Amino acid sequence: MRTDRLVAVLLMLQRREQVTAAEVARELEVSERTARRDLDSLAMAGVPVYSTQGRGGGWRLVGGARTDLSGLTAGEARALFLVAGPASAATPAVKAALRKLVQALPEPFRAQAEAAASSLVMDPRRWGSSRVEHRPPRFLDDLQDAVIRGVQVRLGYVDSKGAETERTVHPLGIAAKGPAWYLVSHTETGRRTFRIDRVTSADLTGDPVHRPEDFDLAESWREIADEIDRKRTPLEVQAVCAPHAIGILRIGFGDRLEVGGTTTDGRIDVVIRGHDDYTLAGELAGLVEWLEVTGPPGVRDHLASIGNALVERYS
């Protein structure tokens, strides 16, 4: 017997006061005999369902009972409550929904799940900072609702330069990058991304979103993230690195590092992206033992200047 069909029958019983085998058969596109067998199987499995015979008869849940459909194990229930607990960084709407689901769990699971809420603390502050960074932005739930419902939004927005604008956008998805949340949208000028903490108003219009047929949120976000990284670090430095130091460079520069091939002397070509000559030279100065910068000249000049300053002070 297919479990998904039995669950569908149980959901029908929960939605309606009573169902007949003919109704089950019609909705699930099976024979009445199969429908009756499914209903009998639910009763044999311990679901509080019973049948009444004669005209107007059918199948009902005892006392309108509601049966737990989560199928969660105790461990999964505990993990769920960690997401929904007070220390969580989830949005208020997500917390409320998950907590309601936890309350619908069987009693033994519920007690363990609720205990899990006090077993975890999340400190949203970074080391060396007193600023809390993980507070969900004000209009996050409204914009998520617009994405789910597929409706356009009249958006008030303040850009990075402080300019205030208002426009109608077609919400396509929401992405989180570290502590920041972004709305990916289609606009009159093409795809645009908005930091949700800069949104000043979000009015759902009810008009349907025009969603590109080939749109994929994950792929779109990868393109957006790559583009932002390039804008934040437009300078590229060429260098050669000792093979055993590549791991150090990966730790220090992450996605800003591109590793190339091996040179004739056994070293490895690398490209490192940064914001400007001076800043990147400062980052590279401590790697002089393993790294030789070959260009651009501006970075090499700053490295030489840093070296001269260090010799003058510490010689």
The conformation of residue 142, written as its DSSP 8-state character, comes to: H
In the predicted structure, residue 1 carries a pLDDT above the cut 90: no
Read off the pLDDT of each residue in 91-113 and give the average, rounded to a whole number: 58
Query: Torsion angle, CA of 30/34/37/39, rounded to 10 degrees?
Result: 10
pLDDT above 90: residue 77: no
- Strand arrangement of the beta sheet that strand 190-195 belongs to: 190-195, 180-187, 164-177, 151-158, 199-208
Q: Kindly indicate the confidence band of residue 229, based on its pLDDT and cuts at 50, 70 and 90.
A: confident
Mean pLDDT of the region 142-169: 89
**pLDDT by residue (tens digit) across 236-274?**
999 999 999 999 999 988 888 999 999 999 999 999 999
- 283: β partners: none
pLDDT at 116: 54
Q: In the prediction, which pLDDT does 51 show? A: 78
Structure confidence at residue 309 (pLDDT): 93
pLDDT higher than 70, residue 66: no
Q: What is the pLDDT of residues 18-50, one digit of tens each?
A: 888 888 888 888 888 888 888 887 777 666 777
> The pTM is what?
0.54
Tell me the pLDDT tens digit for each residue of 105-155. Answer: 555 555 655 555 545 555 555 566 555 555 678 888 888 888 888 899 999
| Residue-level pLDDT at 63 | 60
Predicted confidence (pLDDT) at residue 193 exceeds the cutoff of 60: yes
Separation between Cα atoms, residue 121 and residue 46, nearest integer Å: 40
- Return the sign of the alpha-carbon dihedral for residues 262, 265, 267, 269: negative
Instruction: Inform me whether the pLDDT recorded for 57 exceeds 50.
Output: yes
The string of DSSP codes covering 212-246 is -TT--HHHHHHHHHHHHHHHH--EEEEEEE-GGGH
